[in-house]
Amino acid sequence: MQTKIFTIKTAADTEQLNAAAKIIQNGGIAAIPTETVYGLAANALDGNAVSKIFKAKGRPQDNPLIVHISELSGWYPLVKDIPEAALKLAEAFWPGPLTVILPKSDIIPAEVSAGLSTVAVRMPSHPIARALIRAAGLPLAAPSANVSGSPSPTSAKHVLNDLNGKIDAVIDGGVCTVGVESTVISLADKTPCLLRPGGITPEQLKAVLGKIDIDPAVFSSLATGEKPSSPGMKYKHYAPKARVVILKGSLEAFINFVKENASESAAVLCFDGEDRMMPVRAVSYGREDVPAEQAQKLFGALRAVDEIPGTDKVYARCPIASGLGLAVYNRLLRAASFEVIEL
Ligand code: TXA
Ligand code: MG
């Protein structure tokens, strides 16, 4: 299949938006920009269209998708009930990088919820994503637009590297500003539970909801046979082909460790300005004290180290795991399959 590329700079480009919306209305799949990462979108109410997403990504069938809406009114038909807490979250953080899980209504096809009784919903803030949802007049199911397991795409180029020829279209709307996926919170049980840290921090959620639980899978791998609260937690994620190892400690200790242990085929993932001090090839992912910059650059940097020929091991500097840094740490931890060395 030939993947059609739309370059859309503003939500006022209705001609191209309508053409892209048609593809989705006709049961096709298209990659779309959002403020977090690019999503691979299909009509969320059409199980057949949604199944094409799983095929193109090579996504395990039991991993449910997030449904994207452009107006609050679009949420009501998708879920059984919208509790007060959910409305408070929507008021505080939508449109934006927050996904809310609630018991689903009957119009959600099994392909979207992967057989669960709940559905994840998000209202993105990206003007082109919103305009496209409106033009299609449909809720859009969209996981990140990468091949399953590889780093999420934050540009149309990343999407094409992974999925060119496997999807109907890509809308190039520029580079994603947040850079890590949305925060996922479940309101399906008594206490709200954070399943995936992201663009909205735990502190921001607590300010609205009071007490929240944080799923243990945010910080550690699941024990063998343990049932995850979010199916995505059990899969290897965000990983380049090279093996990633996080080294926790000072810059000085990091450099010494790499000097003593790295072979010629190793590379490092470091903070801006540290590249020149590294004894092996280096890619930087933002300033050490600016988590928003790290979030925006991390996935691109993980892809970039894979493009250094012959790299088989990547030593990564460890970000500060609080605020937005928690999302950065969580993604890096998964890219490293939880391999952390304390220096
Ligand atoms: O920022 C984002 O959230 C991006 C953009 C495109 O919106 N989307 C995204 O989708 O990251 P995806 O499919 O790559 O990640 C969705 C995560 C998965 O880990 C999945 O298991 C979880 O959300 N999830 C979806 N529906 C769920 C449900 N009903 N219950 C528990 N977890 C759910
Ligand atoms: Mg994903």
Output 27 or 306, whichever has higher pLDDT: 27
For position 88, which CATH number holds? 3.90.870.10
The answer as to whether 187 is a domain residue is no
| Cβ neighbour number for residue 7 with a 10 Å cutoff | 12
Residue 225, pLDDT > 80, answer no
pLDDT tens, position by position, 296-316: 999 999 999 989 999 999 999
Residue 228, pLDDT > 90, answer no
Residue 180, pLDDT > 90, answer yes
The predicted model gives 196-205 an average pLDDT of 96
Q: Do 278 and 131 share a domain, yes or no?
A: no
Half-sphere exposure of 290 (CA within 13 A, CB side): 13
Q: What's the mean pLDDT when you consider all of the chain?
A: 95
Q: Do 305 and 165 share a domain, yes or no?
A: no
The predicted model gives 42-65 an average pLDDT of 97
For position 300, which CATH number holds? 3.40.50.11030
Cα of 184 to ligand 1 centre, how many Å?
A: 7
The predicted model gives 13-25 an average pLDDT of 98
Q: Supply the pLDDT for residue 31.
A: 98
Q: Supply the pLDDT for residue 230.
A: 83
DSSP string, 280-315: SEEEE-S-TT-HHHHHHHHHHHHHHHHHSTT--EEE
Residue to mutate, 79, 147, 181, ligand 1, most ligand atoms under 8 Å from C-beta = 181
Cα of 343 to ligand 2 centre, how many Å?
A: 31
Cα of 259 to ligand 1 centre, how many Å?
A: 39
Residue to mutate, 29, 79, 93, 184, ligand 1, most ligand atoms under 8 Å from C-beta = 184
Both ends of the chain: CA-CA distance in Å? 49
The answer as to whether 136 is a domain residue is yes
Cα of 255 to ligand 2 centre, how many Å?
A: 32
> Which residue in 144, 324, 315 sits closest to 237, CA to CA?
144
Q: Do 164 and 26 share a domain, yes or no?
A: yes
Total domains in the fold of the chain:
2
The answer as to whether 216 is a domain residue is no
pLDDT tens, position by position, 107-139: 999 999 999 999 999 999 999 999 999 999 999
Which pTM does this prediction carry?
0.97
Say yes or no: CB of residue 113 within 6 Å of ligand 1. Answer: yes
Q: Do 172 and 249 share a domain, yes or no?
A: no
Q: Supply the pLDDT for residue 224.
A: 67
Q: Do 48 and 167 share a domain, yes or no?
A: yes
Say yes or no: CB of residue 148 within 6 Å of ligand 1. Answer: no
Q: Supply the pLDDT for residue 255.
A: 98
Q: Do 167 and 257 share a domain, yes or no?
A: no
Distance CA 85, CA 104 (A): 16
The answer as to whether 228 is a domain residue is no
Last residue of a domain, one of 176, 204, 219: 176
**Structural domain of residue 25, as residue ranges?**
4-176
The predicted model gives 316-340 an average pLDDT of 95
The predicted model gives 174-178 an average pLDDT of 98
Last residue of a domain, one of 176, 200, 228: 176
Output 241 or 70, whichever has higher pLDDT: 70
Residue to mutate, 62, 66, 171, 331, ligand 1, most ligand atoms under 8 Å from C-beta = 66
The answer as to whether 102 is a domain residue is yes
The answer as to whether 189 is a domain residue is no
Residue 236, pLDDT > 70, answer no
> Which residue in 279, 225, 232 sits closest to 252, CA to CA?
279
The answer as to whether 211 is a domain residue is no
The predicted model gives 2-10 an average pLDDT of 97
Say yes or no: CB of residue 37 within 6 Å of ligand 1. Answer: yes
Q: Supply the pLDDT for residue 220.
A: 80
